[in-house]
Chain A
Amino acid sequence: MKTTKSPSQLVLNGLLNENPIFRLALSMCPAVGISTTVMNGLMLGVAVLFVQVCSSCTIAIIKDYIHPRIRIPTYTLTIATWVTVIDLVLSAYAPVAYKAMGIFIKLIVAFAIITMRLEVFACKNTVTKSFWDGMGMGLGFMFGMVTLGCIRELLGMGTLLGHDVLGFRPLLFFALPLAGFFCVGFMMAVFNYVELVFNRRKEKRA
């Protein structure tokens, strides 16, 4: 399946139609575990964006040399290599953020979204297309993480990126790590609701 979409369509596709967190429901662990603040969400989003783009490009370059039967192990090892790179870079240049995210940086290897994009897209398309697809997916993930982080930080602590916005704490409950379950559930319901309303309007027009 070769795609004919333009770069902007590919990015938009990752951001909205196939948003990794809210639509595909893949890589839920970080969405629940460390989206407590905007900063955390942003940092992990950047890390995932980097790994996704790099591995997509790598696979797109070497796709003709991979034997189909060992493609999954190849994907895994490629991702693991890039995760090691970002892991070492972050621990050297951003030790505070690295500590806050703990084990999740290393666990990017096991995020289903990256392997899935390699299997579905990068192994069939050109390097440029794969780059934009990886960009879209990474940005979509980042968008999801930052949205969740915004909601939780605003409701839980009354702050955004550490700056006091509301001046009070509306619902301290959302600052707890486990509130991520409720938050993701509500966000998915919102996405479903929007889809439902759109479909209803389409039916009315038709």
Chain B
Amino acid sequence: MMGSLKRHTLFVCWFIPLMIALSLSAGCNSEHRFVTKTTFKGTHNIVITFAAPVDEAWARDISNYKVYEEPDPDILLKIAKAIPGRNRKTVTLHFEEELNQDRPHVLNVADIISEGRSLGTEILKVKKLYLGFLFSILIGAMLINNFVFTKYLGLCVFFGTSQKKSTAVGMGVTFTIVIVASAMMSWLLYQFVLKPFQLDYLQIIVFIGLVSLSVQAVDTILRKINPALFKAFGVYLVLVIANCIILAVPLMLADNEYNAWESLMLALGAGLGFLVSLFLMSSVRERLELANVPPTYRGLPIAFVVAGLFALAFLGFSGMSIF
């Protein structure tokens, strides 16, 4: 039992830095040393970011930009206007028609003028990183919009199982497994049964039923396949149903119309985020046992204050966008 626990902790320790490193390395797509970034913004805009301020008159002249979709260079997209940013390091190109963001766009920027010097013509590519988008959902659900510390969900189970590190890890791992299974099932059911037959109003009843079903299924399967693991994690399975995150995730999937991969990422992010927050909290609470807390604050009240401090720290992630 300890062996499996340790392996899980090790997995978590490696997984998180790996994810962050991957997401950061995928984030910078510089194609030229003067143009640092090109991205889509909204449905009609492309934003070009330069390394230094560019000449305003040059930036406003739309004849300097030629944009086409990669497969057909003959069809130039019509630009309505070009607006330089306040510090003149960015230029927003506004197009007359909606951009098809699934295709890479080629951007020809003629004769860039910055601080009186000409820097030559640049050919740039603008594309949406789908893998990046998936990672941003994962990291978003895990850290930036952590369900416990920034959405305040699942608190009952969170405070109940964060007293010891071993309990916290057990609960977190069990929860991650169950939430991925149940979220995928609810996604399937919502997309292929509830939506086509316009039974949306039944989502609460159907999702809560599915959650209890999948908990029961994981219970039965785990008991047969790996009794040792069941002995370690079986206790937490009952608690999983009492956690509101497990119901919140299917509801969010239904609201946001995510596809299968995006749903998987959101569910995984929610589970891992819960694991991370439980682990952090249990580390602090193990130390709190030794601290001299005033009698009125002993137990839950001080745990709430600690959780508040964690939430303040997690507030630092807000507004961070990786892609």
- Footprint of B on A, CB under 8 Å? 25-29, 32-33, 73, 76-77, 80-81, 83-84, 87-88, 103, 106-107, 109-112, 115, 177-182, 184-186, 188-190, 192-193, 196
Q: How many pairs of residues, A versus B, come closer than 8 Å at their CB atoms?
A: 109
A177 touches B152 (CB 8 A): yes
B301 touches A192 (CB 8 A): yes
Report the minimum CB–CB distance from A55 to chain B (whole Å): 13
B311 touches A87 (CB 8 A): no
A33 touches B304 (CB 8 A): no
- Footprint of A on B, CB under 8 Å? 149-156, 159, 201-202, 204-205, 208-209, 212, 241-244, 246-248, 251-252, 295-298, 300-305, 307-308, 311-312, 315
Chain A binding surface SS class: helix
B201 touches A84 (CB 8 A): yes
Report the minimum CB–CB distance from A27 to chain B (whole Å): 7
Chain B binding surface SS class: helix
A28 and B204 in contact, given A185-B301, A185-B308, A192-B296 (Cβ under 8 angstroms): no
A33 and B152 in contact, given A103-B248, A107-B248, A178-B315 (Cβ under 8 angstroms): yes
For A178, what are the chain B residues with a Cβ–Cβ distance below 8 Å?
A: 149-150, 152, 308, 311-312, 315
A29 touches B201 (CB 8 A): no
* B151, B156, B212, B297 — most chain A CB neighbours (10 Å): B156
For B300, what are the chain A residues with a Cβ–Cβ distance below 8 Å?
A: 25, 185, 188
For B303, what are the chain A residues with a Cβ–Cβ distance below 8 Å?
A: 185
B297 touches A81 (CB 8 A): no
A106 touches B251 (CB 8 A): yes
Q: How far is the CA of A26 from the CA of B160 in the complex (A)?
A: 10
A28 and B156 in contact, given A103-B251, A109-B247 (Cβ under 8 angstroms): yes
For B246, what are the chain A residues with a Cβ–Cβ distance below 8 Å?
A: 110
A81 and B156 in contact, given A103-B251, A179-B308, A185-B302 (Cβ under 8 angstroms): no
Q: How far is the CA of A141 from the CA of B248 in the complex (A)?
A: 21
A196 and B154 in contact, given A84-B205, A185-B305 (Cβ under 8 angstroms): no
Task: Choose from A28, A33, A115, A185 the contact partner of B151 (Cβ within 8 Å).
Answer: A33
Task: Choose from A26, A81, A112, A180 the contact partner of B152 (Cβ within 8 Å).
Answer: A180
Could you name 19 residue pairs across A and B whose Cβ atoms are closer than 8 Å? A25-B156, A28-B156, A29-B153, A33-B152, A76-B209, A76-B212, A76-B241, A80-B205, A80-B209, A110-B241, A110-B246, A177-B152, A178-B149, A178-B150, A178-B312, A181-B311, A185-B303, A188-B300, A192-B298
Task: Choose from B204, B241, B242, B305 the contact partner of A181 (Cβ within 8 Å).
Answer: B305
Report the minimum CB–CB distance from A183 to chain B (whole Å): 9
